[in-house]
Amino acid sequence: MTKIAPSILSADFAKLGEEIKEVEQAGADYIHVDVMDGHFVPNITIGPLIADAIKPITNLQLDVHLMIENPDAYIPQFAKSASIITVHQEACVHLHRTLQLIRSHGVKPGVVINPGTSAEAIKPVLTEVDLVLLMTVNPGFGGQSFIKEVVPKVAQIASWREEMGLSFEIEIDGGVNEETAPVCTENGADVLVAGSAIFNQRDRKAAIDVIRKSAEK
Ligand code: DX5
Ligand code: ZN
């Protein structure tokens, strides 16, 4: 079954705990935490204190997406609450080392690429990761439109996974909704992040069900 990872970026931060419990009860698989530093991306969001506060109120794994410069400096802090930490290839000078650093903290490492970065940029580290996250928007904000030109990269990563005998998950982030989910899963995606398509709906269970159902058609 396709996994759904609600991005709390579009949640109501004044009642974040309730929002998380609601999507957990609605069948979410991960809680996607978007960490932005105002340098790597033009927005500032959540820090490790918030991730620490979320951790005890949910049974779901925290999927922490670091959109920050110098992620190595913050990995130890996020490792306290995260089950998965993803870092951007574009932000890591020593990407292989950073992925190993994440694993050394007992957390699953994932690598992310922006829409403008080729799949080849992460081929050498595919053996090091538990998850590959492909951005289908330019990171920084929720509610943007899905960039369909990224889809061939999903298929490319899925075919390398097969050829190399690896088992990492492929996750898609940005503009995922009922319309765009099918092309993601048809090309090999296992996990779909959705922010606005879930939190902008009053009935979160219906929103998750609709995305999952369309993804599995
Ligand atoms: C974008 C974030 C996404 C975003 C997704 O920078 O990484 O996780 O919150 O939001 P939607 O689903 O609204 O595109
Ligand atoms: Zn994200």
Q: What is the pLDDT of residues 108-123, one digit of tens each?
A: 999 999 999 999 999 9
Atom 4 (ligand 1) nearest CA: 142
pLDDT < 50 regions, the chain: none
Q: Tell me how far apart the alpha carbons of residues 170 and 132 are, in angstroms, rounded to a whole number.
A: 5
Q: What is the pLDDT of residue 173?
A: 99
Q: Could you tell me how far CA 143 lies from the centroid of its own chain?
A: 15
Atom 6 (ligand 1) nearest CA: 139
Binding residues: 7, 32, 34, 65, 140-143, 173-175, 195-196
CB atoms within 10 A of CB 7: 25
| Nearest ligand (C-alpha, residue 114) | 1
* Ligand 1 proximal residues by C-beta, below 6 Å: 7, 9-10, 32, 34, 65, 137, 139-144, 173-176, 193-197
* Residue 85 dihedral angles phi and psi, to the nearest 5°: -120, 125
Q: Which of 29, 37, 63, 173 is catalytic?
A: 173
Q: Tell me how far apart the alpha carbons of residues 33 and 54 are, in angstroms, rounded to a whole number.
A: 10
The domain locations on the chain are 3-215
Query: Angle at Cα 35 formed by Cα 32 and Cα 36, nearest 5°?
Result: 140
Q: Enter the pTM of the model.
A: 0.98
Q: What is the pLDDT of residue 195?
A: 98
| Nearest ligand (C-alpha, residue 176) | 1
Binding residues for substrate: 7, 65, 140-143, 173-175, 195-196
* Non-local CB neighbours of 130 within 8 Å, separated by 6+ positions: 84, 108, 109, 110, 168, 169
Binding residues for a divalent metal cation: 32, 34, 65, 173
The predicted complex's ipTM stands at: 0.99
Q: What is the DSSP letter of 37?
A: B
Q: How far, in Å, from the CA of 163 to the mean position of ligand 1?
A: 30
**CATH 3.20.20.70 describes domain 3-215:** yes
Q: What is the pLDDT of residue 217?
A: 82
Q: How far, in Å, from the CA of 150 to the mean position of ligand 1?
A: 15
| Nearest ligand (C-alpha, residue 192) | 1
Q: Is 173 a catalytic residue?
A: yes
